């Protein structure tokens, strides 16, 4: 399977540097423009299928690309962004001020710890890697464009490049940027 992983277009939460997580925020005006530009770039890639997270920002990006490429679109909930619990909607500064003890605790990046009411890194990784395995079994010879989220893209990179949890943190995918993997 050939996999093109793209992060959704920009949202106002991205601009404001807020945790979006599982919060269903739409694309910004610039995000729609980025998705249109992405669709233009992807005309030269022979995609068989577009897969997206169910969250609005990813779906909106995927639908713009789908319209341009005329390919089938499948929604897979397991590619949703990591649930950031009580941090959602807050900036990093607001989270640090509102939850100082949790902020210090989570700063250690323990993969089995997460914000209150949110997911741990390990829980999110298990969800995403399980979806990748299922997709690889179902579409072994396909070229798939997967529209997802920043942290999920980092986890996919970890999976595809066989990185440790510590090594994965050096990877960042910008809005409407994509990377290619062979699985």
Which positions are catalytic?
Answer: 8, 81
Bridge pairing between strands 143-148 and 49-52: parallel
**φ, ψ dihedrals at 52, nearest 5°:** -145, 155
Whether residue 174 contacts residue 164, with contact meaning beta carbons closer than 8 Å, is answered with no
**φ, ψ dihedrals at 117, nearest 5°:** 70, 10
Whether residue 182 contacts residue 41, with contact meaning beta carbons closer than 8 Å, is answered with no
63's enclosing H/E stretch is helix 56-69
E runs forming strands in the chain: 2-7, 49-52, 73-75, 143-148, 178-182
Residues in contact with 138: Cβ distance below 8 Å, sequence separation at least 6, in sequence order:
none
């Amino acid at each position: 399977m050939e996999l093109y992983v793209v992060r959704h277009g920009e949202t106002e939460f991205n601009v404001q540097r807020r945790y979006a997580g599982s919060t269903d925020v739409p694309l910004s005006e610039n995000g729609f423009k980025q998705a249109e530009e992405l669709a233009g770039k992807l005309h030269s890639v022979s995609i068989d299928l577009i897969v997206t997270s169910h969250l609005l920002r990813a779906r909106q990006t995927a639908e713009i690309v789908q319209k341009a490429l005329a390919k089938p679109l499948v929604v897979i909930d397991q590619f949703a962004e990591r649930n950031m619990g009580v941090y959602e909607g807050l900036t990093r500064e607001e989270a640090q001020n509102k939850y100082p003890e949790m902020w210090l605790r989570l700063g250690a990046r323990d993969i089995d710890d997460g914000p209150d009411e949110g997911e741990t890194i390990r829980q999110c990784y298990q969800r995403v890697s399980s979806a990748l395995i299922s997709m690889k079994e179902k579409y072994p010879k396909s070229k798939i464009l997967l529209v997802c989220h920043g942290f999920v893209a980092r986890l996919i990179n970890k999976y595809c490049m066989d990185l440790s949890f510590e090594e994965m943190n050096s990877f960042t995918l910008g809005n409407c940027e994509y990377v290619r993997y062979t699985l």
